[in-house]
Amino acid sequence: MYPRKQYLDKLIKKKDNGRVKIITGLRRCGKSVLLFQIYRDYLLNEGVAPEQIIGLALDTLTNAKYRNPIELDKYIREQITDSSKRYYVFIDEIQFVSEIQNPYVDDPEAKLGFIDAVLGLMQIPNADVYVTGSNSKMLSSDILTQFRDRGDEIRVHPLSFAEYYEAYEDDKRGAWQDYYTYGGMPVAAGLSSHEEKSRYLRDLFTGTYIKDVLERHHIANEREVLDILLDILASGIGSLTNPSKLSNTFKSEKQIGISSDTIDKYLGYFMDSFLISKAERYDVKGRKYIKTPAKYYYSDVGLRNARLGFRQLEETHLMENVIYNDLLRRDLDVDVGVVEYNTRNAEGKSVRRQLEVDFVVNRGSDRFYIQSALSIADPEKRSQETASLLRIPDSFRKIVIVKDYMKPWNDDHGIQYIGVEQFLLDETLLR
């Protein structure tokens, strides 16, 4: 079991704050283990008695009765027997609570659901409430929205490279290659062979993620379209695209007619389920967002690779995806940067060109510009990777992350160079 210290620390910090703690994230990334094992063990070690921790997993048949919000409320209240003690209420898969007719009023529109149950429990002065939930009926992002300003989100990601590296039992020199190949889904990380890892990750797609989207949004005949869209996104990580371009790809390469609006809707479904993330473009000099195109990254590169049968393992693109995910995990705001400049073409005419900054990263008033480059050993390649950074007219830190192992160093322009493993293992490098 991985310690998940980052998320445990967040739960500890928010303990007893009077708000419901909502643990969100990609399915099978470790939310339930975090709450019911890691955080529970912490409370027990702090002197909380076992009877003061009330845990209920609503996805089990034995607890089906408590999918009724009234029965759920009744059960929890019955466990809180001593007003002088603090109780910790853990409810897993909260979306299994059904919406029912309010039996106490005549209005047929009056309904009761999990929101009513949880908000009611929050009114108990000696109860601290925690919920998780994510499936085809109610994904985690929906749960968070329902609680609005009455809840605190703890977003859980797949294992970071640092977590993976710490538990890696073979020669540490192989950790990076295994990580960008198989990703950080906790169960997959614990399997030994390629066949086991591949089968598990593929089954997550077919038996969990796609099934969730199909069932939740009542999509009957578009399974092939969803599969193709996921494949296109997987093949194009790190590339700019938009629904119109994706629609044209369907038409030209698959001979399938599908509107850009429909594709935009499906992209939203995947983002709501935390399967992919969208990075908006930001004009660095103009200080404004560019609505389209954008970049899409997989929340776990192992899932991305399994999607393509482990056939397209381009390290440069996978490295960029891993860095993006790690920046999000660090609770940073991340955009794709654009730097425009004037130059002259071969005919001597003035033209406007754009250069890309892989990531514009913001933390409060601090900003970092980051390029991901497999290597800068060749002077021409180094010049290419730093061209956009050199045209940014401010003094915020500019960083090039490379695959090569190296001690961080700065060139004459103040650009810092860091090896990817060092960057992923040392969060102080962005402080």
pLDDT per position as a tens digit, 48-106: 999 999 999 998 999 999 999 999 999 999 999 999 999 999 999 888 899 999 999 99
pLDDT of 138 above 80: no
Closest to 127 measured CA to CA, from 17, 38, 7, 47? 17
Model confidence at 134, pLDDT cuts 50, 70, 90, reads low
Least confident of 2-6, 22-26, 183-187: 22-26
Q: What pLDDT was estimated at residue 100?
A: 93
CA distances, 381 to each of 384, 393, 402, 422 (Å): 5, 22, 12, 21
Q: What is the 3-state secondary structure (H, E, C) of 260-328?
A: HHHHHHHHHHHHHCCCEEEEEEEECCCCEEEEEEEEEEECCHHHHHHHCCCCCCCHHHHHHHHHHHHHH
The pLDDT score that the predictor gives to residue 419 is 96
CB 272 within 8 A of CB 139: yes
Distances (CA, A) of 245 to 235, 249, 395: 14, 6, 36
pLDDT at 357: 97
Write phi, then psi, for 373 (nearest 5 degrees).
Answer: -140, 130
* List of residues 6+ apart from 226 with CB closer than 8 A: 210, 213, 214, 219, 266
Q: What is the mean pLDDT of residues 353-382?
A: 94
**What confidence category does residue 345 fall into, taking pLDDT thresholds of 50, 70 and 90?**
confident
Model's pTM, two decimal places? 0.93
pLDDT of residue 139: 57
Look-up of token digits 């609770």: 331
What mean pLDDT do residues 330-346 have? 92
pLDDT at 361: 97
Question: Among 142-151, 158-167, 302-311, where is mean pLDDT lowest?
Answer: 142-151
Rounded Cα distance between 360 and 129, Å, is 36
Residue 391: helix, strand or coil by DSSP?
A: coil
| DSSP secondary structure, 29-59, as one string | SSHHHIIIIIIHHHHHHTT--GGGEEEEETT
First to last CA, the chain: 29
pLDDT value at residue 136:
40
pLDDT higher than threshold 90 for residue 294: yes
Crossing angle of helices 223-235 and 243-254, rounded to 10°? 110
C-alpha dihedral (261, 263, 264, 270), degrees to nearest 10: 150
Whether 130 shows a pLDDT value over 70: the answer reads yes
Token pair for 302: 């192992």
Q: Is the pLDDT of residue 424 over 80?
A: yes
Give residue 177's pLDDT band: very low, low, confident or very high (50, 70, 90): very high
Q: What is the mean pLDDT of residues 274-290?
A: 94
Q: What is the chain's mean pLDDT, rounded?
A: 93
As a whole number, mean pLDDT of residues 315-321 equals: 96
CATH number attached to the domain at 5-156: 3.40.50.300
Residue 135 pLDDT class (50, 70, 90 cuts): low
Q: What is the pLDDT of residue 52?
A: 98
Residue intervals of the chain classified under CATH 3.40.50.300 are 5-156
